[in-house]
Amino acid sequence: MNTPDPRPSGLVTSRAHSARVYDYILGGKDHYPVDAEAGEAMRRHWPALPVHMRENRRFMHRAGRYLAEEHGVRQFLDIGTGLPTSPNLHEVVQEVAPESHVVYVDNDPIVLAHARALLRSTPEGATAYVDADMHDPDAILDSPEFRDLIDLDKPVGLMIIGIMHFILPPEDRRLVARLLEPLPSGSYLAMTIGTADFAPEEVGRVAEEYRQQSMPMALRDLATATSFFDGMDLLDPGVTQVHTWRPGPEQEGVEGRDIAMYGAVARKR
């Protein structure tokens, strides 16, 4: 039985947590029995779930590298960071530009306990961790970590990866808009959005399992997913399943029916 030790203060181990279920399904070690039980139930409902989760993270890698390489972005705000599994965002973008700054945000005590792994920046760059919730964007934007590391006179890459299906309407659009609001023109939003468009029965059963674990989900169709980027300039190839967004060799052989996530990158005007 793989459990973190010691237990971080404020940790609730009597119910599953999305970050720890994610860790279990991907073969990590930072979870509790309740997370493993939930993860096993979800995999029974949809055996492709590990493939789906891996491709969501690989999208983050490609999007971060693309913004650093092709658009010169040198500072990033990563919302809903999750457990630090290498390569993390700062490792990807600092490989391109060692001077890059990355601010990570999450509200899970286990992520906080392992945040030191997120702070191993290059000497030229910087990383910071904010213990905060996307539902309270002002706590993120007013944090000393954000103010110290993010220069609002320069473009920022806002990464919202693998979390929007846990942000329910009508708050979802307001929260994304609030995080984008202070970022200057020329900043970018990279986001993944859960969908049941490609395996509705299986993904629906997974969503019901999450609901029973007190983690209700909102799954969006393509039109709804695309509408999150209204007023921004979508970069090619637009809103696609994550494995088809600027794919690399790792995406060869990935089946569309195994992916329940749209992804896109857009530029703020």
pLDDT beyond 70 at 1: no
Which pLDDT belongs to residue 173? 97
Question: CA dist 175 to 19, 46, 135, 180, 214, Å?
Answer: 20, 30, 7, 9, 21
pLDDT, tens digit (0-9, with 9 covering 90-100), for 26-72: 888 888 899 999 889 899 999 999 999 999 999 999 999 999 999 99
Residue 135 has pLDDT above 50, yes or no: yes
Among 18-22, 85-89, 205-209, name the one with the lowest average pLDDT: 18-22
* pLDDT score for 6: 38
Indicate the pLDDT class of residue 8, thresholds 50, 70 and 90.
Answer: very low
Q: Delineate the domains of the chain, giving CATH numbers in brackets.
A: 18-268 (3.40.50.150)
- Give burial (CB, 10 Å; 0-12/13-18/19+) of 269: exposed
pLDDT band at 163 (very low <50, low <70, confident <90, very high): very high
Lowest mean per-residue pLDDT among 17-31, 147-161, 249-263: 17-31
**Cis, bond preceding 47 (omega within 30 deg of 0):** no
pTM more than 0.75: yes
Write the single-letter amino acid at 208: E
| pLDDT of amino acid 10 | 56
Q: Average pLDDT of the chain?
A: 92
What does the pLDDT read at residue 241?
98
